[in-house]
Amino acid sequence: MKKRPYRNGEIWDFEAAMMSSSVNHHKQQQYQEQKVILGLDGGTSSTVCVCIAFIDNDSNNRRFEMMNDGPSPDRPPSILARAVAGCSNHNSVGEIAARETLERVMAEALYKSGLTRAAVLAVCLAVSGVDHPTDQYRITSWLKQIFSSNVKLFVQNDSVAALASGTMGKLHGCVLIAGTGTIAYGYTEDGREARAAGAGPVLGDWGSGYGISAQALTAVVRAHDGRGPQTALTDCILNVLDLSSPDELIGWTYEDPSWARIARLFSYVVSCAEAGDEVANNILLDAVQELASSVKAVVKRLGLSGENGRDNFPLVMVGGVLEGNKRWDIGKEVINCITKDFPGVFPIHPKVEPAVGAALLAWNFLIRQSRKDDALEID
């Protein structure tokens, strides 16, 4: 049976039911008054969409406060709903599947909020795989088919949302993402930007969960055929994958070489390193150097540390590889390595997730636009 091509719009049937005559007048008035922003963080492993209220309607004073000051680390935005879906990186799953994932997760977030697209003021979609202006143009054109012309649309790489999650929507500093993949991204207050790594597994996302796991698999094969030292990774990985011999790793790997599937072995590499395995330890040491070098490259290109190299700058750290809940703390070692060259680095572990960071980017734009409009009215 031929697969029917995906068509936009079919997942929005719930809107008609919400606005039908069966919904009472008070509810309809709420729908018309509530305004929201959708923030999306799309990666290789999962896609998250949050729906945040742009204005808290509790009181005029509160409205004025939020409009002028915006959210802060001590006062995060009000999240009305959160929805989660699978991979939305078009390089991994193809453009049709990626679009369907993104549209469904937006629809689910609005449905959970009890709202329709009429309530949306802005959408900020931050997705891995958006690496060129042509990617931004293509996705923005698709979003224009879904939302009305007055909705502000922003399309960014997922690293931008990760940075904003640590700076509460302000684009200044550097972010290091190390999860399934890895990228370092930097932004200056005058709008200059730079990135390092993030080229995917074929071109070498070394230091990522995938890169570390792939090196571990390679080390097992090398040990098996006599090209490398024996390692505890062999028994550990074979047990985890329920395989009897390293020869079977070839079939397991190429049966489904998806990035996320390989990257799931990362935690076992850390366990072996913590148990004293030299091969696993060296893999993690190499990862630290790779991650630190990505950050250093961005900092140098943008001059984030100033002319003397000692100015303070924020470094937002995001991703499972950098989480400091292990004895072998990769994130801590990366900071130690960066500090040797740039003592002003200020690490930030975000209190909100990147999807909220994406929403905050749109929030700040709306605030700036509102202030410009107010200034024009005064003039």
45-101 pLDDT tens trace: 789 999 999 864 443 444 434 444 556 555 667 899 999 998 888 877 888 888 889
Asked if 73 and 42 sit in the same domain, the reply is yes
Asked if 255 and 313 sit in the same domain, the reply is yes
Sheet holding 47-53, edge to edge: 79-85, 47-53, 36-42, 120-127, 152-156
Residue 200 lies in a domain: no
Tokens of residue 288, six digits: 């630290």
Residue 183 lies in a domain: no
Asked if 108 and 147 sit in the same domain, the reply is yes
Distance CA 176, CA 108 (A): 29
CB atoms within 10 A of CB 256: 8
Buried b (16+ CB within 10 A) or exposed e, 50-75: bbbbbbeeeeeeeeeebeeebbeeee
Half-sphere CA count of 220, side-chain side, radius 13 A: 26
Asked if 122 and 86 sit in the same domain, the reply is yes
Residue 242: domain span? 209-348
Residue 120 lies in a domain: yes
Residue 320 lies in a domain: yes
Asked if 14 and 156 sit in the same domain, the reply is yes
Domains: count for the chain: 2
Check: CB of residue 314 under 8 Å from CB of residue 172.
Answer: yes
- Tell me the pLDDT tens digit for each residue of 192-237: 999 999 888 888 788 999 999 999 999 999 999 999 999 999 999 9
Tally of residues, the chain = 379
Residue 186 lies in a domain: no
Comparing 189 with 38, which gets the higher pLDDT?
Answer: 38
Instruction: Please state the pTM of the whole predicted model.
Output: 0.78
Asked if 82 and 163 sit in the same domain, the reply is yes
Bridge partners, residue 82, by sequence: 50
Distance CA 113, CA 117 (A): 11
Half-sphere CA count of 234, side-chain side, radius 13 A: 17
- Tell me the pLDDT tens digit for each residue of 96-124: 888 889 999 999 999 999 999 999 999 99
Buried b (16+ CB within 10 A) or exposed e, 302-330: bebbeeeeeeebbbbbbbbbbeeeeebbb
Q: Most confidently modeled of 31-35, 165-169, 292-296?
A: 292-296
Tokens of residue 157, six digits: 């790489």
Closest CA to 125 of 147, 141, 145, 102: 102
Q: Most confidently modeled of 132-141, 237-246, 250-259?
A: 237-246
Return the CATH number at 74.
Answer: 3.30.420.40
Asked if 320 and 359 sit in the same domain, the reply is no
Residue 314 lies in a domain: yes
Asked if 25 and 148 sit in the same domain, the reply is yes
Distance CA 176, CA 197 (A): 10
Asked if 32 and 151 sit in the same domain, the reply is yes
Closest CA to 35 of 129, 126, 116: 116
Could you give the C-alpha distances from 287 to 236, 273, 280, 309, in angstroms and in order?
20, 13, 11, 24
Residue 284 lies in a domain: yes
% of residues, the chain, pLDDT over 90: 60
Asked if 293 and 370 sit in the same domain, the reply is no
Asked if 217 and 93 sit in the same domain, the reply is no
Q: In sequence order, which residues have a C-beta less than 8 Å from that of residue 351 and are 6 or more positions away?
A: 73, 76
Asked if 162 and 101 sit in the same domain, the reply is yes
Residue 153 lies in a domain: yes
